[in-house]
Structure 1
Amino acid sequence: MSRPLVALGTSDPLAVLRGLEAALAGGPALLPVAEGTPALPTPPPADVRQRVALVVETSGSTGTGKRVALSSEALLAGAAAADAALGGPGGWVLALPTHYIAGLNVLTRSIAAGTTPVVVTPGHFDAAAFADAADRLVTGPAAPRRYTSLVPVQLARVLDDGRATAALARFDAVLVGGQATPAALRDRAVAAGVRIVTTYGASETSGGCVYDGVPFGTVRTEVVDGELQLSGPMLAEGYLGDDDRTATTFVDRDGLRWYRTGDAATVSDGVVRVLGRLDDVVVSGGEKVRLGAVERLVRDLPDQHGAVVTRRASGEWGEVPVVVTEQPLDLDTVRSHVGDALGRAARPAAVVVVDRLPMLPSGKPDRRAIQDLASS
């Protein structure tokens, strides 16, 4: 059996909300389409398997385009487990794009709670507009708590605005994900009274399923050959039109279905620590350097919470780390800071300052475009 797949532009988040509500109830499956971004090479199918309620298009920050197929059961299981982990259902301020899984999570959890999210004006994120949206959020007895979800760059902009920071401190939980949250930014938020919850997940896991390093609900984690794998009821059905990728990414083991994240991680006493992508290693002067580890150190420096560390070819060293940032950064300072922690080979070879870092519509850095900037 199958059902139609309806593509819907995301310029009106409440229209996406209505489409998702219908999809979760058994109506046409929904494909939110990011307006103004290049389409994937192949058009979407006219219909999908009956189990599929939502299709999320994603290119990731480094990978190739894919369409992730999610069932109603997976989406609602993730929403219920998240609400339990946060302390119960609540009202949401929507500040993320609704073609992005974290934005769609806000819609799913609002539907499950019987509430309507307050929408921050779509487009360029503005702290004052967020504060206005927070002022409009009204909660009730059935969903008394206040929630929102941000990416780190949005959190930083809110914390630069006094009124927006005061509004954010009224929330019961502020989910921050999409990329690693710099420790300095987290500390700054906590000092301002903001209840930060760092999240980890992907479109393939119906969004965040690990909060502050701890898997919620019945989510299970294992590290296999250095790679973090996740299992639970929130897993996607697979990738539309790509059986080979589905078979490679979703594997059966020990009677369970597992999602191979592609991330390096450790799990100690049930707490997950993500180290970075398995493919973010460069070999510099014969030594392996994990770019994610370098980036975390760089982001702990003042005003560098949005900096990105990428790779550049080097005739002498093979490949070297390069910092790309919007804020001035002294090369000797960053080389000393990184070298003291990770060794000589990890020291960045250059700092490239740009007017604005290329970003994906999801709010994540566009790492392919940033690598091109570093290479040129």
Structure 2
Amino acid sequence: MRPLRRTPVPPGPAGLAALIGPVMAALDGSGPAVAPVPVTSAIVSDDYVASILRAVRPDDPSVPLESDEVAVVLATSGSTGAPRGVLLTAAGLQSLNESVNGPGASPQWIAALPMSSMGGFNVLIRALDAGREPIALDSLGGAEPVTPIDFQRTVHRAAASSSDIRVSLVAAQVRRLLADSDGVDALLGCSQVLVGAGPLPAALLETATAHGIRLTRTYGATETSGGCVFDGEPLPGVSITIDEGAEGSAGEVLLSGPMLALGYRMDPASTAARFTPLGYRTGDLGTVDDDRLTLQGRIDDVVVVNGVNVALGAIERVVETLPGIESCAALAVPLGEAEVEIVLLVLGSDPTPSLRDDISAAVQAALGRPAVPRRVAVVPEFPYLPNRKLDRAALRALATEPGHVAWLP
């Protein structure tokens, strides 16, 4: 059976350098399967690393790899629970390279997301296929704070080798870059800016468009070898199925195609439940109209308020269309023994006097009174996991533990 070896991934460009050789060998079959695991750092705790190791179990002869086809075992983000080790094949990881890079194209990719997460790892796969090693930000993986100057400097380095510069970012990084003229100039120097790992707020998209910057929204998961739906449209070879949704209504999104993983490490029950004959069950709600996917939130984000089903993601999308609101997070918190109330955390620092009323009016008009948040607070920043996904557990702590936020009157 093919061995599975842990590859420690430190922050900064050293993390990228540590992965290139082992990943190339894993992809061409000349080396063992690879398990990229972040090392403890200022933003990566010992507990987080331990949770990754429990999920992937590298270097453990007592738990052999499930298949010799597996080239990489990558942990999921753990944003909604404990991380899972995902069994990825070389064929699956590389199956969409031509669709993303373009036929015969050789773009220069910039590594801006942690290399032990699918968002960052995916960039490495695309870059190797293009024949160019990615260029890493000095701040990669939390080595130092992300700054527009760091990003601009990296784009200038990339421009020395190619006029076709690509980068994959998360919304929080885009927001920081758009707030600075150096960041805007650097984004304008990129031929493609992919934005994934969560929703792209409408206000952020509008700001980018006003600057002449085109953002491409990507959708996928570690289980789908990364983004496989761009701006709502599946890449060639990718199929979308909506399960249990009446015509025109939302159902669970299932994805199928050559990019799918084989399943989960040491978890045959979850593998059977999520990897079905219809495709991979994403746990997301969505609709498809004219072959374009529109997401409606997570299945487990639907809560019952006064007997009415309310999708927290739908609340967030409504609120993010309001002027001056770039991002928000809706949460359901306990209210008594058997009820919940919806609260809303808004990213910002200077709320207008009418903010809460504006939010209530917009949500009630779009979704009905049960969806209106009972409490609203403005926070200066959101907590993120080391892989730059929103830390929902930390958000819940902010909303439920006394003294962490000041609720608007």
TM-score calculated relative to the size of structure 1: 0.92
Query: Aligned partners of 1:316 and 1:250: how far apart in 2?
Result: 35
Which letter maps to 1:54?
V
1:270 equivalent in structure 2: 291
Which letter maps to 2:328?
A
Q: Does 1:118 align with 2:135?
A: yes
Q: Does 1:172 align with 2:176?
A: no
Query: Aligned partners of 1:139 and 1:79: how far apart in 2?
Result: 23
1:324 CA displacement: 1.6
Moved over 6 A (4+): none
Which range moves more in the overlay, 271-280 or 343-352? Answer: 343-352
Q: Does 1:31 align with 2:52?
A: no
Query: Aligned partners of 1:20 and 1:160: how far apart in 2?
Result: 36
Q: Does 1:51 align with 2:69?
A: yes
1:1-376 equivalences in 2 (<5 Å): 1-11=1-11, 12=14, 13-26=16-29, 27-35=31-39, 36-37=44-45, 38=48, 39-40=50-51, 42=54, 44-46=57-59, 48=65, 49-84=67-102, 88-121=105-138, 122=140, 123=142, 124-138=145-159, 145-225=164-244, 226-253=251-278, 258-315=279-336, 318-327=339-348, 328-329=350-351, 330-376=355-401
Which letter maps to 2:303?
V
Whether contact under 8 Å (2:274, 2:281) holds in the other structure is yes
Change (3 A) 1:88 1:343: farther
1:316 CA displacement: 10
Whether contact under 8 Å (1:292, 1:309) holds in the other structure is yes
Q: Secondary structure at the match of 2:300?
A: coil
Which range moves more in the overlay, 326-335 or 269-278? Answer: 326-335
Change (3 A) 1:173 1:345: same
1:144 CA displacement: 5.2
Query: Aligned partners of 1:187 and 1:32: how far apart in 2?
Result: 36
Which letter maps to 1:51?
E
Q: Secondary structure at the match of 2:189?
A: coil
Which range moves more in the overlay, 76-85 or 173-182? Answer: 76-85
Q: RMSD of the alignment, in Å?
A: 2.0
Paired positions, count? 369
Query: Aligned partners of 2:106 and 2:288: how far apart in 1?
Result: 29
Query: Aligned partners of 2:304 and 2:238: how far apart in 1?
Result: 34
Query: Aligned partners of 2:36 and 2:319: how far apart in 1?
Result: 35
2:247 equivalent in structure 1: none
Query: Aligned partners of 2:271 and 2:8: how far apart in 1?
Result: 25
Which letter maps to 2:313?
G
Once the two structures are superposed, what CA deviation does each residue of 1:42-96 show, in whole Å capped at 9, x if it has no partner? 36142523211111112432122210110100011022232239x9441011111
Structure 1 residues without counterparts, runs of 5 or longer: none
1:115 CA displacement: 0.3
Which range moves more in the overlay, 4-13 or 164-173? Answer: 4-13
Which range moves more in the overlay, 130-139 or 316-325? Answer: 316-325
Change (3 A) 1:190 1:277: same
Query: Aligned partners of 1:68 and 1:213: how far apart in 2?
Result: 24
Query: Aligned partners of 1:193 and 1:334: how far apart in 2?
Result: 29
Query: Aligned partners of 2:4 and 2:126: how far apart in 1?
Result: 24
Once the two structures are superposed, what CA deviation does each residue of 1:125-151 show, in whole Å capped at 9, x if it has no partner? 2221111111110365xx752100110
TM-score calculated relative to the size of structure 2: 0.85
Query: Aligned partners of 1:234 and 1:209: how far apart in 2?
Result: 8
Change (3 A) 1:343 1:317: farther
Query: Aligned partners of 1:19 and 1:189: how far apart in 2?
Result: 37
Which letter maps to 1:354?
V
Query: Aligned partners of 1:118 and 1:207: how far apart in 2?
Result: 19
Once the two structures are superposed, what CA deviation does each residue of 1:143-195 show, in whole Å capped at 9, x if it has no partner? 75210011001001110111221111121110011111011111111111112
Which letter maps to 2:208?
A
Q: Secondary structure at the match of 2:237?
A: coil
Query: Aligned partners of 1:88 and 1:201: how far apart in 2?
Result: 23
Structure 2 residues without counterparts, runs of 5 or longer: 245-250, 402-409
Whether contact under 8 Å (2:382, 2:390) holds in the other structure is yes
More strand by share: 1
